Amino acid sequence: MSNNFDLIIIGAGPAGSAAAFTAAKENISVLLLEEHPKIGIPVVCAEGLSKSTIKDYLDIKPEWISRNLFGSIIRGPDGEEFKMEFPECGWILDRKIFDAALANMAKAQGTVIKTSAKAINIENDEVIVNESNEEKRYKFKFLIGADGIASNVGKWMGINTRLNLNDIVVCAQYLIEGIKIESQYTHLIIGDEYAPGGYAWIFPKSDNSANIGLGISPVKTKKKAIHFLDKWVKKEFANGKITEKRFGGVPATLLKRFSGKNFFLAGDAARFVNPLNGAGIANAVKSGIIAGRNAVLRLKGKKDYFEAEIKKEILKEIKFHHRIRKAYLKLTDKEYNEIFKIGKKVYEGKRIGHINMYHLVKEIVFSSPRLFYIGFGLLF
């Protein structure tokens, strides 16, 4: 087999596989590299996916789903809760199956997939790969970096991808079995006791198991995410059995540049994540598809629309959420409680079909002078 490919994609998460199945069907040669021996393992994700964010890009197959969701239960800092009935909101995926299925879609279109193949550097038009402990070199005409939050591809291609403390949400999560949960609802918890500068979640995986985790902002607390998770789990799930432990980060910043003469970045590598709720699966798939489509245009010597499509489909919404996060980080538990009460007033007891963030922010901003002071700029 030749070591020359039209397109090399580094990282077989949702972004990389989506780029691969999009590009490979256009009759160009595609190599997809994954450092782990099995695609989809380990899963560092709570696996929640909202229907509205993905529906125009990918049909979600029943076998990829752990749980169909019917809404959320929200808990405020005082411990008070309310339920949002939102029958079409989305799913908890099984990412071990989902990630592998997307890679299989790429393979079915002719993508060459190499696992246990870690890209260790790029020299000119060659990716240097540690493949099962042997050094190999693969030549590319175009490259897509889909290597997740710890991405090196951007750095190798001359982009500043450094994450400062303020640019990251630090997460800890356990898969806990043998617990009592409302298994068709996600549980979202705000407040400094649980997750300073972020939120805590219970995402059901079955009738009696869930991904239970939280994300914190390291600028709001010096304590580690695991400290908050252990404290909470001891209090609420002491009888459960922890079967997986996962630690990771969610990027909460934007890059100045995410493409170049012969490359695009996609997914977490490009920081295409909602910094407020940490959702990155849908944007990984979307940006992968956009990257794959536009890489083909470049390879065929045509004008591409990568930057324009990313701006319209992904960045517009993310930028709004970055501004909300900036305001969110300034809030105290007293203000989280006020916001919780507004959410309760707006959503409790109603059947929801869609959440309009702009209208919600408007309700919150006009509810008190302090929130008006912090959040007024978000409306314009």
Ligand X SMILES: Cc1cc2nc3c(=O)[nH]c(=O)nc-3n(C[C@H](O)[C@H](O)[C@H](O)COP(=O)(O)OP(=O)(O)OC[C@H]3O[C@@H](n4cnc5c(N)ncnc54)[C@H](O)[C@@H]3O)c2cc1C
Query: Residue with CB nearest ligand X?
Result: 280
Cβ proximity to ligand X, 42 vs 353, nearer residue? 42
Please give the structure tokens belonging to residue 292. Answer: 């794959």
> Is 198 an interacting residue with respect to ligand X (CB under 6 A)?
no
> Is 324 an interacting residue with respect to ligand X (CB under 6 A)?
no
**Touching ligand X, residues 85-124 (CB under 6 A):** 118-119
Cβ proximity to ligand X, 265 vs 364, nearer residue? 265
> Is 145 an interacting residue with respect to ligand X (CB under 6 A)?
no
d(CA 258, CA 26): 23
> Is 189 an interacting residue with respect to ligand X (CB under 6 A)?
no
> Is 54 an interacting residue with respect to ligand X (CB under 6 A)?
no
Cβ proximity to ligand X, 187 vs 375, nearer residue? 187
Cβ neighbours of residue 302 closer than 8 Å, sequence gap 6 or more = none
- Asked if 290 and 283 count as a contact pair (C-beta separation under 8 A), the reply is no
- CA 142: distance to chain centroid? 25
Cβ proximity to ligand X, 36 vs 311, nearer residue? 36
d(CA 351, CA 353): 7
23 SS3 class: helix
- Asked if 214 and 172 count as a contact pair (C-beta separation under 8 A), the reply is yes
Minimum distance of ligand X from residue 302's CB (angstroms): 26
Minimum distance of ligand X from residue 160's CB (angstroms): 18
Q: What is the DSSP letter of 351?
A: B
- Residue 323: how many CB atoms within 10 A of its CB? 16
- Asked if 4 and 85 count as a contact pair (C-beta separation under 8 A), the reply is no
Site string for ligand X, 270-299 (x = CB under 6 A): ---x----xxxx--x---------------
Q: Which residues bind ligand X (CB under 6 A)?
A: 10-16, 33-36, 44-49, 118-119, 146-148, 152, 171, 173, 213, 246, 248-250, 267-269, 273, 278-281, 284
